[in-house]
Structure 1
Amino acid sequence: MSTRDETPDAPDLPAEDAAGASPQQPPEEHGPAAAVDPALIDPAAVVRLRLVIARLYRQLAQASTGQEFTFAQQSALARIEQHGPLRLGELAALERVAAPSMTRTVGPLVAAGLVSKVPDPHDGRSTLVELSPAGADLLATIRQERSELLAGRAAALTAHEQAVLLAALPVLEHLLVDGAPDSR
Structure 2
Amino acid sequence: MTDTRPGRDALPTPSGAAGGTQPPATAVDRLRLIVARLYRQLAQASGDDLDLTYAQLSALARVQAHGPLRLGELAALEQVAAPSLTRTLRPLSAAGLLSKEADPSDGRSHLVSVTPKGEAHLERIRRQRSELLSRRMARLSPQDSAALLAALPALEQLLTEGEEPAPPAG
Q: TM-score by structure 1 length?
A: 0.79
Deviation digits for residues 9-50 of structure 1 (CA, Å, limit 9, x no counterpart): xxxxxx86xxxxx323599xxxx9952243xx2101100000
Q: Give the match's secondary structure for 1:130.
A: strand
Mapped to 1, the partners of 2:165 and 2:60 lie a distance apart of 21
Contact 1:109 1:115 (8 Å CA) reproduced? yes
- Choose which of 86, 91, 104 in structure 2 pairs with 1:121: 104
Mapped to 2, the partners of 1:56 and 1:126 lie a distance apart of 39
1:35 counterpart residue number: 19
2:151 counterpart residue number: 168
Q: Give the match's secondary structure for 1:126.
A: strand
Within-5 A mapping of 1:5-154: 22-25=5-8, 35-38=19-22, 41-66=23-48, 68-154=51-137
User: Structure 1: which amino acid aligns with 2:111?
Assistant: L
Q: 1:178 Cα deviation (Å)?
A: 4.5
Mapped to 2, the partners of 1:80 and 1:136 lie a distance apart of 10
Mapped to 1, the partners of 2:9 and 2:105 lie a distance apart of 50
User: Structure 2: which amino acid aligns with 1:73?
Assistant: Q
Q: Please provide the CA RMSD for this pair.
A: 2.4
Q: Give the match's secondary structure for 1:175.
A: helix
> Alignment identity in percent?
57
Deviation digits for residues 88-141 of structure 1 (CA, Å, limit 9, x no counterpart): 111111000000000000000000000001110101121111100000001100
Q: Give the match's secondary structure for 1:72.
A: helix
Consecutive unaligned residues of structure 1, counting only runs of 5 or more, are: 1-14, 17-21
Of structures 1 and 2, the one with the larger relative CO (CA 8 A, separation 6+) is 1
Q: 1:181 Cα deviation (Å)?
A: 5.7
Contact 1:65 1:141 (8 Å CA) reproduced? no
Q: Give the match's secondary structure for 1:176.
A: helix
Consecutive unaligned residues of structure 2, counting only runs of 5 or more, are: 11-15
Mapped to 1, the partners of 2:144 and 2:129 lie a distance apart of 20
User: Structure 1: which amino acid aligns with 2:73?
Assistant: E
Please state which structure has a larger fraction of its residues in strand: 2
Contact 2:137 2:145 (8 Å CA) reproduced? yes
Q: Give the match's secondary structure for 1:23.
A: coil
Contact 1:115 1:135 (8 Å CA) reproduced? yes
User: Structure 1: which amino acid aligns with 2:134?
Assistant: A
